[in-house]
Amino acid sequence: MANSKKKLHRREFLKNSCKIGVSASVVKALGLSSLLHAQQSLAAEQDYKALVFIFLAGGNDSFNMIAPKGVGNLRTNYEDGRRNAAISAEQLNAITPKTDVKIYGGEQYNEFGLHPACADMAEMFNNEEMSIVCNIGNLYEPTTRWQLLNDKVTLPPQLYSHSDQQLQFQSQPDIPFRYGWGGRLAEMVEDFNSSSNVSPLISVSGLNSFQVASQPDVSAYVMGYDGAVKLNGVTNERKTLLESSIDSIDASSHLMLQKYRDVFNSAKKSEAIVTSAFTEAEQTGVDYDAIFTAAGANTSKIGRQLKTIAKMIAGRNSTGNNRPIYFVEMNGFDTHKKLLTNHQTLMTDLNAALKGFKDVLVAQGDFDKTLSFVGSEFGRTLTPNGNDAEFGTDHAWGGHALLMGGMINGGQMFGTHPDLKLKEGLDASSGRGRWIPTTSTSQCVAKIANWFGVNQEELPLLIPSINNFPDTFTASSNLDFFKQEVS
């Protein structure tokens, strides 16, 4: 298959920027300031990219989110390992990968399906709006089963621990923690956010490790599910009294009072910017509630969060950010019991929320500019932990992730899928089906960061462990996520 991917070189980008600058000077000299403003706005809009990290907290059972269909060794291995946790092939929503799926051990297998609750996600995959990253996980360096069993490899610290693996999935497989890759990424692309009115790091799920920057002057702005968090009960006389007290704090006041004043004023300013962004979103004519309601996601937590992010993206003239990085957390994936019932509910909510988010982004013209990355700290064991109705699955290692957006090479399963054989191949345990990742989190982050604007030679400044792996940008890596790359 011919490679139609186009590379954008930094020098070429700068050269073109200079050309825009020259033409702008000419326009200004002619007194056509409105045309100049329109040209600058168009340049900013064309350069806009948003990253949305949707974190599935608890360890998503992704080998039921995506499972083999058809007749063959992979389906047989799935059924033998999953036993009572297996989903029948007939219930799965069929997907058709547009290129051959690479299976560990060399087998070719192209019959897969998404969870019964994920019909919309399957449609998005088949429409080339979504792709799958197979068997991704935290790795310090490439690892084989023999190296693992014979202590010949450096492993990520505290494997199978929620807190440790969440921290590493959002940063690096290192101790001590230094920064999250989202926070460091924001620092590395700060030139794109030179007109920022609010932090480019925006969370609708509280403070998190992902958005921790390496420098203390860069911090995340935390919003509620439905927008800016407002002061509770501060109205009328109470509001007047509070604002009067804040205004009375000056340089002679106690340092803690000055800090409180600065935080209060910053929060007020941010609230005003968010309000302006929401107003801007309303002026697009997009009916956010109707679209998310039609998708079945208007009242779910994950749906409300993604609706808020969509509005912030539409209101980017108010925020001033050309490279915003959003964080969303969806909880409940630690399915040690009642796997089939609980995972059905989780997949239903995720499917509806992604459908609503995609449809809104398409409606407001931002689907090609917004990358959604959906991942979890680890997968779960292929084998269930019991035979009764209460069975679940336990903490494991590698699992599948999702990419959604108009810029991705959609309808593909990237990386290498496990052969699902127990006690051999990629099984890190004695027959539980804890798969050694075939793609590291660092490699996936490298590809995302490169699309976001970080040159390949600068990637070790973001994720030092990338140097431990073969070149992620060669065809042999099978990680050709994007239609365009920055060299």
What is the predicted pLDDT for the residue at 34?
52
Q: How confident is the model at residue 311, as a pLDDT?
A: 98
| Confidence class for position 23, pLDDT limits 50, 70, 90 | very low
Q: In the predicted model, what is the mean pLDDT of the chain?
A: 90
Q: Which of 90-94, 96-100, 173-177 has the lowest mean pLDDT?
A: 173-177
pLDDT above 70: percentage of residues in the chain: 87
Least confident piece of the model among 37-46, 61-70, 175-184, 332-341? 37-46
Residues with Cβ < 8 Å from 369, sequence gap 6 or more? 48, 49, 50, 313, 406, 407
Ranges 7-21, 70-84, 196-210, 435-449: which has the least confidence: 7-21
φ, ψ of residue 484 to 5 degrees: the values are: -135, 150
How is the chain split into domains, by residue range? Answer: 42-486
Burial 75-111 (b: 16+ CB within 10 A, else e): bebbbebbeebbbebeebbebebeeebbbbeeeebbb
Mean pLDDT confidence for 291-309: 98
d(CA 486, CA 425): 35
The structure's pTM equals 0.88
Q: Two tokens at 27?
A: 């326009």
* C-alpha dist (Å) from residue 198 to 107, 172, 216, 218: 50, 27, 16, 11
CB 109 within 8 A of CB 101: yes
Round to whole Å and give the CA distance between 78 and 68.
7
Helical axes 10-29 vs 33-46, angle rounded to 10°: 160
The two structure tokens encoding residue 137: 């996980």
Burial class (CB in 10 A: 0-12, 13-18, 19+), 275: middle
The confidence score (pLDDT) of residue 13 equals 47
Q: What is the mean pLDDT of residues 434-455?
A: 98
Q: Check residue 234 and give its pLDDT.
A: 64
Whether the per-residue pLDDT at 45 is higher than 80: the answer is no
At 256 the pLDDT is 81
The whole-number average pLDDT for the span 68-75 is: 96
Say yes or no to pLDDT of 205 above 80.
yes
Say whether pLDDT at 277 is over 50.
yes
Q: Taking every pair of C-alpha atoms in the chain, what is the biggest distance, in angstroms? A: 79
Dist. CA 464–CA 170, nearest whole Å: 14
Using DSSP bridges, classify how beta strands 50-56 and 370-376 pair: parallel, antiparallel or unpaired. Answer: parallel
d(CA 107, CA 379): 22
Residues 414, 394 contacting (CB under 8 angstroms): no
Mean pLDDT to the nearest integer, 6-34: 45
* Predicted pLDDT of residue 4: 42
pLDDT band with cut points at 50, 70 and 90 for residue 248: confident
